[in-house]
Structure 1
Amino acid sequence: MWLYTFLERILIPTGLHHFVYAPFVFGNVATPNGITVDWFTNLEAFTQSTQSMKDLFPAGGFALHGNSKIFGCTGIALAMYHTAKPENRQKVAALLIPATLTAVLVGITEPLEFTFLFIAPWLFAIHAILAGTMAMVMYTFGVVGNMGGGLIEFATGNWIPLLGNHTGMVVTQIAIGLCFTAIYYVTFKYLIVKFDVPIAGRGDAEMKLHTKKDFNEKHGITSKGDAGTATPLQIQAVETIEGLGGVHNIEDLSNCATRLRVTVKDPSRVQTAEYFMETGAVNIVKNGNAIQVIIGLNVPQLREECEKIYSATKTVDMTMAPAT
């Protein structure tokens, strides 16, 4: 369990982390239909049983990596805030609050994790070690579930349904998680000060959090194709449309708080979850012709870019259509 979660975190810079958790969460390595499907298929039965959750669904130990996003990132953010110079803390808080809320609520951790990857990769390794240790401790104390995302997923798909016969497991998970928030905080605060890590708000460090794009540019990693002058969001929109089978496979396009909701003509033309994760999405949910691409809080902006491509292509089709 420790090694699984450690690899899921430490391989993020390479993109290979998808190959660690996807076979367990979406494939048949741990359960016949994948942890996500089999968790929700049996959730009602779990809520009615008084048997321990670890006995009912032991494979759920391979889906605890989201705990580092909620409890770990909170401790990291607090350490970053308290190690900044007092006169810079207000500016640092303005950077950290939205990034931490995004990590905690929906599980998108890029600004926090890639900041350490950019400035001090060894701190990211510490993060991966702590994440693996937290998952191992939780599993040892009987915590299992479908917990790869953020707090919204934890609450709606795990905690709320399980309250009643499994309240003890929920309380245990939160208690261990908060203990690790404190461990993360103390560890990162000590290391940042001890080694004078130049994060935002310290010394002459740039007042910003870094992204995957910054990390790739620093290490000479190029993205797919020639991006030209396109923005990352425009590139993601193009790749998302392609993953959905192209403009002509899309019948309807909208969004909710964190998801791109799409109705497609032929669901067999929709790419795999791994493809969409490579474009920047968190995950994808398929239900017949109804597709949900889980993006995060910037989904309205992505939908707008997708609509521009959709509208432009339709306009070209109408222009080129033969006159009747």
Structure 2
Amino acid sequence: MNAKAGAKAAAKAAAARAQGGPVLGRFPRPLRVLGYALVVGLGLLYLLPFVLQLVTGFKTDPDAAAHPLGLLPTTPTTAAYQRLFGLSQAGDGVPFLRWLGNSAFVSVLVTAGRVLFDSMAGYALARLRFRGRTVLFGFVLAVMAVPGVALLIPKFLVLNTFGLFDTYTGMILPLMVDAAGIFIMKQFFESVPREVEEAARVDGAGVIRTFWSVVLPMARPALITLTILSFQGSWNEFTHFLVATQSGQYETLTTGLARFISGGLGGGTQYPLKLAAALLATVPVAALFFCFQRYFVQGANSGAVKE
């Protein structure tokens, strides 16, 4: 019995080697150690800017200017975060909470709109047969090829003509449908077996019921992928908000930080304050991605494979 078990284990090991094991496992030990050291070194080099950003937020302005690459603050302080959250006694606070609220409000609505409309449009292009479907999908691909900068002036003119300039509606409405999101959802829906939809239709379900109750729950990986990309894109959006707003009450994190870094909210370098604000602006998107990265990878793979 033990001999048979040993033979099976040896066969499995031989099959694994034939299929290809870890790349570094094929080299001698010194080369493997060197490879792992190189990977760790590159990882630390990649993390260094984020560590400096975190540490600099607890430095004083003179300390940050004198030791920009120092990994330990000379005199740790939370003055930068106190200014950001309006807790400073000097009255020199930054409207960071207003920027944060505007970004969260706009990003949530834009993300919800993109998930709904992109999935509906993707399903229609993938499953419904209507005249001009191929041409319409060609227009979607053409929109993806147009640089966003080329649309800045037309966006401003359209928003100004319809009275949407410098309003939340003008910030949200043009971003609620995304060509890339339609493409992602179309590719995923094409990978769903048609037999599932045919069985639903046999049971009496219409197109809308089949989409909403049968196909959409199966598209959870693609929906999570679209949610992450939509939230990240709207959270980091800058050029659209730059041409769609003018008043300070509509500033988001991107436009507010841009005005702050350019010197619009005071002179001096103020590296701790700027990097602390940039760090807090990065946290929501990073947390969302790390929480759902497994579904993100599944959605990307399922959208690339058509059964």
Which is strand-richer, 1 or 2?
A: 1
Computing the radius of gyration over CA atoms, which structure comes out larger, 1 or 2? Answer: 2
- More relative contact order, 1 or 2 (CA 8 Å, 6+ apart): 2
TM tier, shorter chain?
under 0.3
Instruction: Please report the TM-score for the alignment, with normalisation by the length of structure 1.
Output: 0.23
Output the TM-score relative to the length of structure 2. Answer: 0.24
